[in-house]
Amino acid sequence: MIRKFRFPIFKAAIAPAVLIALMMCGPLVAALSASWIARSGEELRREGCTVIMVGKNASTDGSVMTTHTCDNGATDWTWRRVSAADHKPGEMRRIHHINCWNAWPPDQGLKWDRAFIDGDAGVEILQVPHTYGYFVGNFGYMNDVQLSIGESTIGSRPKLENMTATPKLDITMLTILAMERCATAREAIRFMGEIAEKYGYGFTDFGEMLAVADPREVWVFEIMPVGPLWTPQSGKPGCVWAAQRVPDDHVAVCPNESRIGEIDLGDKDHFMASPNVISLAVEQKWFDPKSGRPFNWRRAYWDREGSAVSTRGGRARLWRFFDLVAPSLRLGPETSDLDFPLTVKPEKKLSVYDVIGLTRDKCEGTIFDPARGLQGGPFSNPNFLPSGFEIDGKSYGTSRVISVNRAEYVTVTQARGWLPDPIGGIVWLAWGAQDTSCFFPLYTGITEIPKSFEIGDHWNVDRKSARWAFDYVETMCNIAYAPAIAVVRGEQKKWEIPLIERTPMIDQNALILYKKDPAAAKSFLTDYCLSTANAVIDRWWRLGDELMVMFNHLWLYDSRTRSNKLLAYPDWYLRLMLEHDKLKPKDEKK
């Protein structure tokens, strides 16, 4: 069986580029301790994954968009394309415990090899006649009929957590079942909620948010366990959940925080919830119906107040999102998280390229900019100090920004109702950290994905694995970030902008084929996506080679002119080095 531990501890090796950076910045070395080098799985999980949601009338082209930044940092990153299937009457579907937080050595089998061998949850449900095909990584992302999902861990009150094997469903299994069976966001929410009520929700999860979308609308769905004593025989729901629709002309974000506030169960067009949503809160004395106050989901089941300022940037993402999409609201960084609205009308409609930009944001130019001052090292590297540390018995945090360097991959989904489903749905995928990666399209109608998506792990460099091409570039950038990232951003524009601008032409060609022969359209889209993905991957391998040459020996090598020169360090850094090392100037010649 899969090991059932509460939180795995990841002892991650320091990347060579980080070691180089540490050696370059003597004053910082003294400030670091082993507690910074390795953080617990609990800490990483509670900070993992940012989701952005865009309603169809808030996007420039009418598409509904969701994102997912998979910020786990040490999990199995591999992807699969699961095909649609027909099933015989009476056929059963086995439920599996899928621990998306764990990773196994490749010789033991990757996640999707082991999950269906070791992860039997001991429950079967009646199979449906037809299951949709879908993309799946750590979660299900988009299926054949453009149902799309993005995930963010939010947690719950500790009393609700249920890490036992009694609950049969975790968030990965819920998204997979929804991908297989559901055609709309509303259908998926009702299905996931009801099946989790019946069989219990928890295992490795302690509270999750899903952005659930289709070509018409996007919803915020939040689900939590109901405590370690729950059993199916209790007759009570095995989870508690609520969902709220994002208005069509609004956008929303979930940065690992519960976001649903007051809920109006009479407004069925905008709210859904489990039958115990209020009674459980009353039972636990988290809500008093006699108080005269309306029921507030977030205050009942989450109730953690803070702001970007009070957490010293630990909760900067919520404020930063609103500051970027609706700056005229003037919601300052001192604003409590509980006072932000769930959704907002953006001051300008967002394109897919805008959304990609949001996933890359690092609070540049703000007080929470992780590249500022000594924290960013001599080359203004926002990834230089990726998490907090302890020294002299005191703990210090760092800003938690949207774009972090532990991302496994990032998705931006587009659901477009004016096109047939195989053409309308697109997952824009970027492997590794957003700032140094490149997004490319995967139409939902494709019948296969590159084999390089299905292999690889953090502890074994493999040039057959797509992910390692992008980790290679990121590692090279960490040597001298400021000059390196300028090169990478130039490459991103060369690839991403043309790919986005080419989309209408690809759509049109696929549509012409689809009207004559849907299979031919799928073949066309498959060839396009495979060739595009492989071209990007190949370019990033070469880009890593070029950056390695460029910053070899911490010099600057120019391959075009076959010349080199010293890499210049900023004056402020040199002055700090003089002060710390008590260096004296060379004697002047008399």
- Look at 96-100, 342-346, 581-585 and tell me which has the smallest mean pLDDT: 96-100
The lowest-confidence range among 94-108, 119-133, 160-174 is 94-108
Handedness of CA 554, 560, 561, 562 (dihedral sign): positive
pLDDT digit string (tens) for 266-319?
Answer: 999 999 999 999 999 999 999 999 999 999 999 999 989 999 999 999 999 999
Closest among 548, 572, 505 to 557, alpha carbons compared: 548
pLDDT of residue 116: 66
Can you tell me the mean pLDDT for 116-123?
81
What is the structure's pLDDT at 545? 98
Mean pLDDT of the chain: 90
* CA-CA-CA-CA torsion sign (326, 330, 336, 341): negative
Indicate the domain borders of the chain. Answer: 1-590
Is pLDDT of 42 > 80? Answer: no
CA distance 257 to 156: 9
Contact in structure between 304 and 282 (CB atoms under 8 Å):
no
Amino acid at 508: Q
C-alpha to C-alpha distance for 357 and 352, rounded to whole angstroms: 9
**Cα 361 from chain centroid?**
13
Averaged pLDDT, 397-412: 94
pLDDT at 39 over 50: no
pLDDT band at 237 (very low <50, low <70, confident <90, very high): very high
Angle formed by the axes of helices 171-181 and 185-199, nearest 10°: 130
| Residue 9, amino acid | I
**Using 50, 70 and 90 to split pLDDT, how confident is the model at 86?**
very high
Query: What is the b/e burial string over 121-154, where b = at least 16 CB atoms within 10 angstroms of the residue's CB?
Result: bebeeebbeebbbbbbbbbbbbbbbbbbbbbbbb
Strand boundaries in 312-408, DSSP class E: 343-344, 389-391, 394-396
pLDDT digits (tens, 9 = 90+) for 576-588: 999 999 999 998 6
Backbone φ and ψ for 223, nearest 5 degrees, come out as: -135, 140
Q: Which helix (H) or strand (E) holds 118?
A: helix 111-118
Decide if pLDDT at 468 tops 70: yes
